[in-house]
Amino acid sequence: MVVDRGPEYHDPGRPMHVIISEHASRNPSKKALIYEDGRSLTYGELDDLSGRLASLLASDAGVSRGDTVAIVMFNRPEFLVAYLGALRAGARVVVIDALSMSEDLEFQLSDAKPRATIVDSEVYSRERDREILERLGGRVYVAEKLGDRLREYGPCTASVGYEDDARVFYYAGIAGRTMQVIHSHRSFVGAVAPLAQAERIGEEDVSLVTSPLSHVLGLDAALFTALYAGGTAVLMKRFDEEKAVKLAKEYGVTYMVGAPLVYQRLLEKGVSRDHFPRLKWAMSGGAYLPPDVQKAWMERISPLLQVYGMTEAPQCFATTPERNKVGSLGFPLPGVEAKLVDPEDESREVGVGEKGVLLIKGPMVMKGYADPEETRRAFRDGWLWTGDILERDEEGFYYFRGVKKRMIKYKGYPVFPRDLEILLEKHPAVAKAEVYGEPDESVGQIPVARVWVKPGYEGRVTPEELMDWVNKRVAPYKKVRKVIIMGVLEEKR
């Protein structure tokens, strides 16, 4: 068996919220989070506020061990308080992208069935979405209005098991559609600790968080690696080149994690080492990193590493400052086992220089999907079938070579063609839709739809009408950018 094993993994053996509380006990005045507007939370404050929120959720919303709490928020300090507070209440956290709207939001809330939902005012102000939240979100709390209420409660932490559900994402890349990806406390810690161990992140480190916390790149690789290590995270609401440079200088950022476009845009602005004086390394993930961008960043500023993973197994490969190759996704992180199998004959394992579908085991691998049948499809004798085609060189570095699963990457966001096809096929004129990704240098890929209309609708529906049908129902990054009407699909008799 051609199995590649990463370094030894040191499992902390306790949930993330417990680890962060331990930091608070040792160093309560250390800053855990700094927001772009200057607001900050020390570990002591974070521990206190998240504990009080746990009490509120238990007393006011009836949240107990195993219940679900949804978070629908943009990047802001209250997101972290909500996340840790829900975990401390014994709940599993469902993170819903704040860009989700209309059918997107309605599907996820109706599927998750949260007992409580914590939402920021920007999302709550959207009239249609507010109605959905009030109908499906259980007890709804607007994050910015929780301050006074939290003073009424004392901190608490419910007892949970390491194998209990900790969090749920709705980006099922291997399954290829929007559905629950379930992680335990063990796999949550297992998604963060190996990367922190491999990159030697410590209490002295300061991370710049440029990506949305609704995605594992921002949440795990950027935010929780710093908090796991007892360091500090500097949080941006959304990426802005000038603001990133200002924050890096002001707070002494030592590492940053972002999508490839972050580095491309910074380089286009002419950044140099002077703009990131304390930066030890930067890391790219979520989408293809052009080699010229990686080379230019390394020549001007710092090592630019890569991290590879997916919602089902966040952060399973990465490069390090000591072991880094242009174009490589890296190598297995601590605790990870990897093998490549022939895309056409999965019983045959491939060797150096051959392309193969990646199968992995590791501490970050999900418990499974909510759908048991989809879970069975995703695993092969205990190995997670990633659907990604990689190649390994003689030095142990892996390279991305394609996919066997259906997914589009737009600015690093995963977009599932089947979700868009289902929406298009709900239009009364559409008989069949096929969505695929068209290459685009500026964003990676754009969603394009081929559509066949029902008899009688030829000439009566336009591509623009069909685009509007889909695009007003989905998050901005999921929007179809082009519709091609292929003709009429005759009904089968």
Cα–Cα distance list, 288 to 82, 285, 326, 402, 412 (Å)? 32, 8, 12, 11, 8
Q: Provide the residue type at 88 as one letter.
A: R
User: Exposed, middle or buried, 74 (CB in 10 Å: 0-12/13-18/19+)?
Assistant: middle
* pLDDT score of 184: 98
Among 231, 268, 269, which Cα is nearest to 257's? 231
**Fold topology of 408-488:** GMP Synthetase; Chain A, domain 3 (3.30.300)
* pLDDT score of 104: 87
Q: How far apart are CA 136 and CA 112, in angstroms?
A: 9
Among 226, 217, 220, 213, which Cα is nearest to 252's? 226
* pLDDT score of 491: 63
**Fold topology of 4-392:** Rossmann fold (3.40.50)
Q: How far apart are CA 83 and CA 219, in angstroms?
A: 10
* Max CA distance (Å), the chain: 73
User: Exposed, middle or buried, 325 (CB in 10 Å: 0-12/13-18/19+)?
Assistant: middle
Check: CB of residue 165 under 8 Å from CB of residue 114: no
* pLDDT score of 492: 53
Residue 131 phi, psi (nearest 5): -60, -40
Q: How far apart are CA 296 and CA 208, in angstroms?
A: 20
Measure CA of the first residue to CA of the last residue in the chain; give whole Å.
Answer: 51
What residue spans define the domains of the chain? Answer: 4-392, 408-488
Other C-beta atoms lying within 10 Å of the C-beta of residue 450:
17
3-state per-residue secondary structure call for 261-318: HHHHHHHHCCCCHHHCCCCCEEEECCCCCCHHHHHHHHHHCCCEEEEEEECCEEEEEE
* pLDDT score of 493: 45
Could you tell me the sign of the dihedral formed by the alpha carbons of 88, 216, 143, 182, in that order?
Answer: negative
Please enumerate in sequence order all residues whose Cβ is within 8 A of that of 37, keeping only pairs 6 or more positions apart, or say none.
Answer: none
Q: Which residues, given as ranges, of the chain have pLDDT below 50? A: 1, 493
Question: How far, in whole angstroms, is CA 273 from its chain's centroid?
Answer: 29
Check: CB of residue 168 under 8 Å from CB of residue 112: yes
Among 228, 251, 219, 184, which Cα is nearest to 82's? 219
* pLDDT score of 444: 84
Check: CB of residue 118 under 8 Å from CB of residue 141: yes
